[in-house]
Amino acid sequence: MTRARQAVGAYGERCAVRHLTGAGLRVVARNWRGGQGELDIVAWDGDVLAFCEVKTRRGDRFGSPAEAVVGGKAARLRRLAVEWLAATGTHADDLRFDVLSVYLPAAGAARVEHLKGAF
């Protein structure tokens, strides 16, 4: 991955964290790496533990950011969530998988769309 793409992704994740905390969620992990890959954000939404995947795009040429989280990617995130729960000893009665789409326009502020329970 190029430095420019890494910078765009990191900026998108910072925007997503601001969005989540502004909506009252409590972020407990960022960029957690496990054997299957990485969890972008883990946050409590009240009593619900949300595993959040962040997708950042400069445009919609390749579809919406959320459309990139399908099949194998969703399955891998579920496996990572199980790995994170075991590694941290965290218990939650209710889990959720969210996708945060961060749109970066050519000018102006980023726009974040939060799809709760995406898969």
List the alpha helices (DSSP H) in 1-119: 3-22, 71-88
Q: What is the CATH number of the domain that holds 107?
A: 3.40.1350.10
For residue 91, what pLDDT is reported? 94
Q: Is 108 left (phi over 0), alpha (psi -120 to 50) or beta?
A: left
Residue 76 belongs to what domain range?
3-115
For residue 61, what pLDDT is reported? 73
Number of structural domains the chain divides into: 1
Name the residue among 95, 84, 9, 23 with its Cα closest to residue 54: 9
Q: Find the distance separating the first CA and the last CA of the chain, reported in whole Å.
A: 26
Rounded-to-integer distance, Cα 10 and Cα 82, Å = 24
For residue 8, what pLDDT is reported? 87
For residue 82, what pLDDT is reported? 97
What's the predicted TM-score (pTM) here?
0.91
- pLDDT tens string for the chain (119 positions)? 688 888 888 999 999 999 999 999 999 999 999 998 999 999 999 999 999 999 998 877 777 777 777 788 999 999 999 999 999 999 999 999 999 999 998 888 999 999 999 98
Instruction: Judge contact between 96 and 117, C-beta under 8 A.
Output: yes
